[in-house]
Amino acid sequence: MLDVSDLHVSYGNVEAVRGIGMTVRPGRVTLVLGANGAGKTTTLKAVAGLERPHAGKVTLDGTDITGLAPHKIVRRGIALVPEGRRVFSPLTVGENLRMGGYTADRSKATETLDRVNEMFPILAERAGSAAGLLSGGEQQMLAFGRALMSQPSIMLLDEPSMGLAPAVVDSILAKVRQMADSGIGILMVEQNAEAGLDVADDVVAVARGEVVFSGPAAEARDNTSVLRAFLGEAALAGTDD
């Protein structure tokens, strides 16, 4: 289980994350909603070791991992799938996947690759193709597969549906659900709130670096704070609240 508590992260004298806390449990999807600039990406980066929090704590199964170097955090079982997928375009699909397994237990590499190929058959079919030739949806699957190669217990997904056609979004989010159902705990930032809520178990809504709602996905849909956090004040114009 991943536990983030009272996290504070600043860029210079701008505090982007101001006391955010959240929990990610095995087999569950925690969805992070919030308007642009709310501090969602910064939170994921701080968990992954890419930004150093100046206060607060990140624990994995009770062990404090706050401020560890990114490669150490990957070795502990937390994999970040960054916004924009960032696959290595000139490398083949197979090479991208092998790079994802670089830090993992080598004795399990073949078994892990088999599982990734089973979950994403397109990656097996396109193993010898340059990653840059894949469609956006396929590249997102490759980014998931590459992260899975590190044998994570927790995955951090930053905007997996970004730039994808609606039909593709549904299949990508179905894969997110499938990864969670395999036992992985997922922390997902997603601008497509409707589609994200369909696969989420828990929701954390953030605004201006603070948590404004935390609870089950079923309760998030109609919650005013969630609407406000996600869409801004304009979302509430015309509502009675």
C-beta separation of 73 from 59 below 8 A? no
Q: Which of 18, 28, 40, 175 binds ligand ATP (CB under 6 A)?
A: 40
Q: According to the binding rule CB under 6 A, does residue 36 interact with ligand ATP?
A: yes
Q: How far apart are CA 50 and CA 219, in angstroms?
A: 32
At closest approach, how far in Å is the CB of 166 from ligand ATP?
Answer: 19
Strands 210-216 and 202-207: antiparallel
At closest approach, how far in Å is the CB of 205 from ligand ATP?
Answer: 11
C-beta separation of 50 from 16 below 8 A? no
Q: Which of 22, 24, 28, 42 binds ligand ATP (CB under 6 A)?
A: 42
At closest approach, how far in Å is the CB of 11 from ligand ATP?
Answer: 3
Which token pair is 37? 């600039």
Q: According to the binding rule CB under 6 A, does residue 16 interact with ligand ATP?
A: yes
CA 116, 117, 123, 127: dihedral to nearest 10 degrees? 110
At closest approach, how far in Å is the CB of 147 from ligand ATP?
Answer: 19
At closest approach, how far in Å is the CB of 40 from ligand ATP?
Answer: 3
Q: How far apart are CA 69 and CA 145, in angstroms?
A: 22
DSSP H or E segment with residue 189: strand 185-189
Q: According to the binding rule CB under 6 A, does residue 34 interact with ligand ATP?
A: yes
Angle at which helix 166-181 crosses helix 109-119, to 10 degrees, equals 140
Number of continuous H segments (helices) and E segments (strands) in the chain:
10, 10
| Part in contact with ligand ATP (CB under 6 A); list of ranges 32-40, 126-134, 197-205, 218-226 | 32-40
Which token pair is 88? 């290595």
Q: Which of 2, 20, 22, 39 binds ligand ATP (CB under 6 A)?
A: 39
Q: According to the binding rule CB under 6 A, does residue 107 interact with ligand ATP?
A: no
Q: Which of 20, 28, 41, 192 binds ligand ATP (CB under 6 A)?
A: 41
Nearest to 6 by CA among 66, 60, 87: 66
Q: According to the binding rule CB under 6 A, does residue 161 interact with ligand ATP?
A: no
Nearer to ligand ATP, 50 or 91 (CB): 50
Chain positions contacting ligand ATP, by CB under 6 A: 11, 14, 16, 34, 36-42
